[in-house]
Amino acid sequence: MYSIEHIYIDGQFVQPNGQEWFDLHNPSTGDVIGRVRLADVQDTKDAIAAARRAFPAFARTTREQRIAWLKRLYEAMLANVDRLAAATIEEYGAPSTRAKWGARYAAESFLHAAQTLEEYSFTRRIGSAEVVMEPVGVAALITPWNANAGFICNKLATAIAAGCTVVIKPSEMSALQTQIVTEALHEAGLPAGVFNIVTGRGDIVGSELSVNPNVAKISFTGSTAVGKSILRAGADTMKRVTLELGGKSPTLILDDANLETAVPVAVTSGFQNSGQACIAGTRILVPEDRLQDVIRLVKEAVSAVKVGHLNDADSAIGPMVSQRQYERVQGYIRRGVEEGATLVIGGEGHPDGLAGYYVKPTVFANVTNGMSIAREEIFGPVLCILTYRSEEEAIEIANDTVYGLHAYVISADIERARAVASRLEAGRVSINGAPHEPLAPFGGYKQSGIGREYGTFGLEAFLETKAVLGAIVLEPQ
Ligand code: NAD
């Protein structure tokens, strides 16, 4: 049994003032594997105070100093990727390939931020003004359970590049991963107070971060409902916010696509991270006259997806993170049937031979965009097939959602796919299964969020802009 009893404030592991304990489960069995002692409001205030004390000196550090720290943080995380991947499998149920990718991604975020910082110009001239980009202040970084370590590292790396000090509120469900990340980051030897990590409940620690006047910025990744509450709570102190929220992303298979290759790509995109991915392509849009071919190929593709056995490199789908998430997914499968959609494969219950929080990878056809399974983020391996009669209608259906995080287009003609991409309301569009680009902006249109992360766009979200007039003496004309 794990017992996690410390949070990290002002460069030290300390016992929280908070007295509440939270159970950690292994999702592949449902067993309790440990517990974590949660921080409270006082701990949060202490962490904010430490970050605030550290801010003036850290804001004045040079680019070279911060690049050197980012590289040390990278090395420290790299030395721990195997431990982190193992914890991700045990605590969160990620299949091993995903867990290993996620742990490396977390470490590499520091290198990506260093690269952005190397190339970024903090000062530019506009007319007679000198325009200076300055760190915004103390930033609160709030992460979800579905990629806790990755988001801690990416947000922290960007904040450090900008010269901000931070208070991190990781998901309370990810305490094993957080412990490993904290130990690794501590090894890098940054000045005390630059980063503080307080694991606690969202409605306690997260709420305090959202209203505390000494927090200038919140970078939040999580659900749209909580993102809205943070936006409201932060309005009084006019916090800068970056909100990375939910999605219901469309995959448009255009009528010129080779279905034999397109369908497996669409299924893989929908099932990424066991379906617990904000960017999962969960609405597959196909030409109406190809529906029967698509259904046949979907059955083949899903039957080939291996569920379970997390340490097996071939497994693509692991369990849901919690009993609650398991039940939520079951509820949506039930609703899909009740709403009149046709079950192509999967359904309610556990897959054969698996217990814990495993669900059956499920695909519905004859779905209309008004059904709740097509409108709401399910956050599990449950996909909808919708049909269209023209490209125009496909674009209309794709955009008919409150979300706008990601979209996928599959076509034999790149120019045609680009033209469709230009009309989609989404922060990212991936053509023909193109992989992640770590320095390109990431974020959502509409209720999928506010602002962008990664690269220069992400860095500027941690900066304020100051125009200094009179600093530049203009040459007489
Ligand atoms: P969640 O919104 O329930 O929780 C996210 C974080 O917010 C947790 O740390 C939680 O403790 C905290 N929180 C909860 N209530 C809070 C409050 N009142 N004030 C401040 N913080 C609070 O989300 P989750 O269930 O952990 O994660 C899944 C969601 O995250 C999905 O909706 C998914 O789409 C989204 N997500 C988005 C992205 C993206 O980049 N757009 C990436 C990953 C996940």
What number does the ligand 1 atom closest to the CA of 147 have? Answer: 43
Q: What is the per-residue pLDDT for 474?
A: 67
356 CA from centroid of ligand 1 (Å):
23
2-245+444-467 topology per CATH: Aldehyde Dehydrogenase; Chain A, domain 1 (3.40.605)
Mutate to test the pocket of ligand 1, among 155, 221, 239, 378 (most ligand atoms within 8 A of CB): 221
Q: Which amino acid is at 246?
A: G
- Which is it for the CA torsion 294, 297, 303, 309, positive or negative? negative
Q: What is the per-residue pLDDT for 473?
A: 75
- Under CATH, domain 250-431 is a member of which superfamily? Aldehyde Dehydrogenase; Chain A, domain 2 (3.40.309.10)
**Domain-wise residue ranges, the chain:** 2-245+444-467, 250-431
**Token pair listed for 159:** 């904040």
Q: Which residues pair with 243 in a beta bridge?
A: 220, 450
169 CA from centroid of ligand 1 (Å):
11
d(CA 187, CA 438) in angstroms, rounded, equals 25
The 10 Å Cβ neighbour count of residue 216 is 21
- Ligand 1 pocket check for 152: Cβ under 6 Å: no
CA proximity to 450, closest of 230, 269, 139: 230
Is residue 221 within 8 A of residue 149, CB to CB? The reply is: no
264 CA from centroid of ligand 1 (Å):
29
- Ligand 1 pocket check for 458: Cβ under 6 Å: no
What number does the ligand 1 atom closest to the CA of 325 have? Answer: 25
246 CA from centroid of ligand 1 (Å):
9
Is residue 209 within 8 A of residue 198, CB to CB? The reply is: no
166 CA from centroid of ligand 1 (Å):
18
Is residue 363 within 8 A of residue 385, CB to CB? The reply is: yes
CA proximity to 39, closest of 23, 24, 25, 20: 20
- Ligand 1 pocket check for 443: Cβ under 6 Å: no
d(CA 289, CA 281) in angstroms, rounded, equals 21
Q: What is the per-residue pLDDT for 477?
A: 62
Per-residue pLDDT of the chain (477 residues; tens, 9 = 90+): 999 999 999 999 999 999 999 999 999 999 999 999 999 999 999 999 999 999 999 999 999 999 999 999 999 999 999 999 999 999 989 889 999 999 999 999 999 999 999 999 999 999 999 999 999 999 999 999 999 999 999 999 999 999 999 999 999 999 999 999 999 999 999 999 999 999 999 999 999 999 999 999 999 999 999 999 999 999 999 999 999 999 999 999 999 999 999 999 999 999 999 999 999 999 999 999 999 999 999 999 999 999 987 788 889 999 999 999 999 999 999 999 999 999 999 999 999 999 999 999 999 999 999 999 999 999 999 999 999 999 999 999 999 999 999 999 999 999 999 999 999 999 999 999 999 999 999 999 999 999 999 999 999 999 999 999 998 776 666
- Given the residues 90, 108, 244, 460, the one annotated as active site: 244
Burial of residue 203 (CB within 10 Å: 0-12, 13-18, 19+) is exposed
**Token pair listed for 312:** 């097996």
Task: Identify whether 244 is a catalytic site residue.
Answer: yes
d(CA 449, CA 392) in angstroms, rounded, equals 26
With DSSP H G I counted as helix, E B as strand and the rest as coil, what are the percentages for the chain, rounded to 5? 45, 20, 35
- Ligand 1 pocket check for 230: Cβ under 6 Å: yes
- Ligand 1 pocket check for 243: Cβ under 6 Å: no
Q: Which amino acid is at 293?
A: D
Mutate to test the pocket of ligand 1, among 22, 146, 442 (most ligand atoms within 8 A of CB): 146
- Ligand 1 pocket check for 369: Cβ under 6 Å: no
Is residue 272 within 8 A of residue 251, CB to CB? The reply is: no
Distance of CA 391 to the CA centre of its chain: 30
